[in-house]
Copies of this chain bind each other. A is one copy, B any other.
Amino acid sequence: MPSRYDSGMSDASVEHLAATLDLQTVRVVRQIAEHGSLTAAAASLGYSQPAVSQQLQRFEERTGIALVERVGRGIRLTESGRVLARHAFAVTTALEAAAGELAEIRGLRAGRVRLVAFPSASATLVPRLIASLASEYPGVAVTYVEAEPPEAVEAVRADRADLAITFSYPGDRDDPHRASARGLDVRAYGDEPMQLVLPEGHPAAESDVIMLDRLAGEPWIAGCPRCRGHLLELAGAAGFTPRIAFETDNFVAVEGMVAQGLGVALLPALALEASPRHPGIVTRPTARADVRSLHLVTARGAERVPAIGATLAALEALAAG
């Protein structure tokens, strides 16, 4: 014969109980344990007294677990109530720890951003960026690795980096705007002028700008594979196929070779800025003012990550300054 004293749901599962435990009840019970009365708990939580009263009633009806019992004109926690209050401390403490860390990240007092950029940015753009971030947000950790555009984009996709600085040139078959960056955010970050590099005294250097086809017969010193692709693209448009005499991805070496009269080269402006101007060379823009485009690649929505947003903002400031 069932007693009138059984709860009627004594065998409900622990999982279901955990799923129906709500934070409000946990907070309420914690405050009741600390203040001893329902009214004081309500005031402490910024609620009206009936609110917490109903909160408890809903919980008790839902779970069949009595948390408080009336005594006189007040209440006190039952055994279950005290048990929950004890755990409530652990729960709210863990939540506050989480909130603290999130606030640190949101306030840019913590966080990290993993940069990846092409090599010629390593000596110019990236150091300035890192210095700017470090002085403004000392709590944000910045890491940096070098990688050519295709690998850089892949690093973002595979979550090995947060922000990739890439470049592309018109006609580039690996243009980050195209398929390789599908599902990512790509921001244009301005254009970088291409500079022709000639030995001092080269006849073509007499004019301020140079038609590319004037150098059709020169031996060329090519850079990295993609830079070489850009050269071939531009030369093709100008109606000739350049004769590649040397190849190296070391820009300083390129300048040295040009100074030695071994050939001419086409270098992006950043590469030339990376080191003090090598003696014995001159640089001229192309007549068509050719450029390569810079891009910032992130996961979609990543600008809302404070550290990444701050990095994007710093990059904008660098471009403007």
Contacts of A9 in B (CB 8 A): 106
> Interface 1/0s, chain A 58-82, versus B by CB < 8 A?
0010011110111111001011100
Contact flags A72-106 to B (C-beta < 8 A → 1, else 0): 11001011100110011011101111111111011
One of B65, B70, B183, B310 near A102 (C-beta < 8 A): B65
Assess A299 versus B102: contact at CB under 8 Å? Given A18-B96, A94-B87.
Answer: no
Interface centre among A17, A111, A159 (most CB of B within 10 A): A17
> Which listed residue (B68, B95, B183) contacts A70, Cβ 8 A?
B183
Task: Give the contact stretch, choosing among A168-176, A233-241, A245-253, A300-308.
Answer: A300-308
A66 touches B304 (CB 8 A): yes
Query: Please, which residues of chain B bring their CB within 8 A of the CB of A96?
Result: 14, 18
Do B6 and A313 touch across chains, with their CB atoms under 8 A apart?
yes
Provide 20 A-B residue pairs closer than 8 Å at the C-beta atoms, listed in order of the A residue: A3-B309, A5-B313, A6-B310, A7-B106, A7-B306, A10-B106, A10-B306, A11-B107, A13-B103, A14-B103, A17-B106, A69-B305, A71-B300, A72-B157, A76-B159, A79-B112, A80-B102, A83-B98, A91-B94, A91-B98
Query: In the complex, what distance in Å separates the CA atom of A26 from the CA atom of B99?
Result: 11
Q: Does A312 contact B (CB under 8 A)?
A: yes
- Whole-angstrom distance between the alpha carbons of A302 and B80 in the complex? 11
Say whether A108 faces chain B, with CB atoms less than 8 Å apart: yes
Assembled-state Cα–Cα distance A66/B12 (Å): 37
Partner of A305, one of B79, B107, B300: B79
Are B313 and A3 within 8 A (Cβ)? yes
Q: Per a CB cutoff under 8 Å, which of B102, B182, B313 touches A72?
A: B182
